[in-house]
């Protein structure tokens, strides 16, 4: 336990120190990994914890990104813009969640997918506000955060803080209630847990953190495009989580790093990177059920027993 806290703290510090010993490219890559990791963790709050496969995290990601971008372009400072952007995503999640939490399994997944596509359509068509196909460009970060290093520090710190919050949540009574719902929602209801209300809370929380990930992306790229809302964006956290492992808290974190890392490497060798990546993903899912981290933990547990 102590070891774990120490290791996590060291890893966190290492992440914050990245700008000291690396150039802009690596900073950009690590920050992208962190943002995907946060998106994947938010997804896994529903998937691994609660047993609900959401294909709509892209909607909240885009919601956070567009809201933050609009606020920044209207002249609001960076930090309040990012927070209000995340809150906007949470509000959007509350609206959509009110419908989705009435359903489970495939119906839940289809509904989240449908709402995700609806949001995409709005982003695409509502040109006056979202810029339509062009998206929003020229998003200012403000004078202080104009430096890439400073922005990196702020974004990385916010992601790390979010990871800590989500970790605490997963070990809290609410976390247990969510796992109980995943294991047996009927029994959870008959244990006195108001199942729909609890799932709703998880849904809105997941929406908030997906939104935060998006809200941090907009100032990083200084543009937002409709592709943030596309369903393929919603698939990224799914893949990262499956690679890393949905049943260990750090699984989606590891998965996000592996996903973007692999992509970065494969792209250098072939333009058919998706083909190669697909094969690698296939191999991983087939040979490591429970993801890389799940498989590693299993292996470790078996060695300890032997």
Partner 1 sequence: MTALLEVRGLRKSFAEFAAISGVDLELPGGGVTAVIGPNGAGKTTFINLLTGKLSPDAGRIAFAGADVTHLSASARVRAGMARTFQVTNVFPLLSAEENVAVPVLARAKKSLEPRRRLDSMQDVHESVRKLLATVGLADRAAQAAAALSHGDRRLLEIALALASEPRLLLLDEPTAGMGAGERDRVLAQIRDLAARVTILLVEHDMEVVFGLAGRIVVLHQGKVLADGAPQAIRDDPRVREIYLGEAGVAPAALPAPAAGAPLLEVEHLEAGYGLAHVLHDVSFSVARGEILALLGRNGVGKTTTLRSLAGLTQPWRGSAIRLSGRPIAFEAPETIAALGVSYVPDDRRIFPDLTAAENLRVPVLALRRTRWAREKIGAIFPPLAALWNRKGRHLSGGEQKMLAIARALMTDPALLLLDEPSEGLGPLMVRILVAALAQIRSEGVTVLLADQNLQFARAVADRAVVMERGRLVHAAARAELLGDHSKLQRLLAV
Residue 175 within binding range of partner 1, rule CB under 8 A: yes
- Pick the binder of partner 1 from 18, 155, 180, 218 (CB under 8 A): 180
Residue 171 within binding range of partner 1, rule CB under 8 A: yes
Binding track, positions 50-89, relative to partner 1; x by CB under 8 A = ----------------------------------------
d(Cα 181, Cα 158) in Å, to the nearest integer? 29
Residue 147 within binding range of partner 1, rule CB under 8 A: no
Residue 162 within binding range of partner 1, rule CB under 8 A: no
Residue 194 within binding range of partner 1, rule CB under 8 A: yes
Residue 187 within binding range of partner 1, rule CB under 8 A: yes
161 versus 235: smaller Cβ distance to partner 1 = 161
Residue 176 within binding range of partner 1, rule CB under 8 A: yes
- Other Cβ atoms less than 10 A from the Cβ of 94: the count is 15
Binding track, positions 203-242, relative to partner 1; x by CB under 8 A = --x-------------------------------------
Residue 33 within binding range of partner 1, rule CB under 8 A: no
Shortest Å distance, C-beta 182 to partner 1: 8
Concatenated DSSP letters for the chain?
-HHHHHHHHHHHHHHHHGGGG--HHHHHHHHHHHHHHHHHHHHHIIIIIT----S-HHHHHHHHHHHHHHHHHTT--HHHHHHHHHHHHHHHHHHHHHHHTT--HHHHHHHHHHHHHHHHHHHHH-HHHH-GGG-EE-----SGGGSHHHHHHHHHHHHHHHHHHHHHHHTSHHHHHHHHHHH-HHHHHTTT--HHHHHHHHHHHHHHHHHHHHHHHHHHHSEE-GGGGSHHHHHHHHHHHHHH-TTSTTHHHHHHHHHHHHHHHHHHH-S-HHHHHHHHHHHHHHH-TTHHHHHHHHHHHHHHH-
175 versus 291: smaller Cβ distance to partner 1 = 175
Residue 172 within binding range of partner 1, rule CB under 8 A: yes
Residue 184 within binding range of partner 1, rule CB under 8 A: yes
163 versus 260: smaller Cβ distance to partner 1 = 163
Residue 248 within binding range of partner 1, rule CB under 8 A: no
For residue 152, give every residue at least 6 positions away whose Cβ sits within 8 Å of its Cβ, in sequence order, or none: 18, 19, 27, 30, 31
30 versus 202: smaller Cβ distance to partner 1 = 202
Residue 164 within binding range of partner 1, rule CB under 8 A: no
Residue 161 within binding range of partner 1, rule CB under 8 A: no
Residue 183 within binding range of partner 1, rule CB under 8 A: yes
Residues of this chain that bind partner 1 (CB under 8 A): 168-169, 171-177, 179-180, 183-184, 186-195, 197-198, 201, 205
């Amino acid at each position: 336990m102590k070891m774990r806290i120490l290791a996590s703290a060291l890893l966190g510090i290492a992440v914050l120190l990245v700008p000291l010993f690396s150039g802009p490219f690596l900073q950009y890559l690590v920050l992208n990994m962190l943002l995907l990791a946060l998106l994947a963790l938010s997804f896994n709050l529903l998937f691994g914890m609660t047993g609900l496969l959401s294909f709509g995290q892209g909607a909240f990601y885009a919601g956070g990104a567009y809201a933050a971008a609009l606020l920044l372009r209207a002249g609001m400072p960076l930090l309040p813009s990012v927070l209000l952007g995340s809150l906007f995503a949470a509000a959007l999640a509350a609206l959509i969640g009110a419908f989705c939490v009435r359903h489970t399994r495939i119906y839940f997944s289809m509904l989240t997918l449908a709402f995700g596509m609806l949001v995409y359509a709005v982003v695409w068509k509502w040109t006056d506000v979202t810029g339509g196909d062009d998206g929003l460009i020229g998003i200012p970060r403000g004078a202080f955060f104009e430096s890439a290093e400073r922005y990196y520090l702020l974004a990385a710190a916010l992601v790390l803080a979010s990871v800590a919050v989500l970790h605490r949540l997963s070990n809290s009574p609410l976390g247990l209630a969510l796992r109980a719902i995943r294991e047996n929602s009927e029994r959870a209801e008959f244990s006195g847990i108001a199942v729909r209300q609890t799932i709703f809370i998880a849904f809105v929380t997941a929406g908030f953190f997906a939104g935060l990930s998006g809200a941090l992306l907009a100032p990083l790229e200084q543009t937002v495009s409709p592709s943030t809302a596309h369903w393929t964006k919603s698939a990224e956290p799914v893949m990262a989580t499956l690679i890393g492992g949905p049943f260990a808290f750090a699984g989606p974190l590891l998965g996000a790093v592996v996903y973007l890392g692999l992509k970065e490497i494969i792209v250098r060798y072939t333009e058919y990177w998706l083909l190669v990546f697909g094969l690698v993903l296939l191999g991983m899912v087939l040979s490591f059920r429970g993801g890389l981290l799940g498989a590693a933990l299993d292996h470790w547990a078996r060695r300890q027993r032997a």
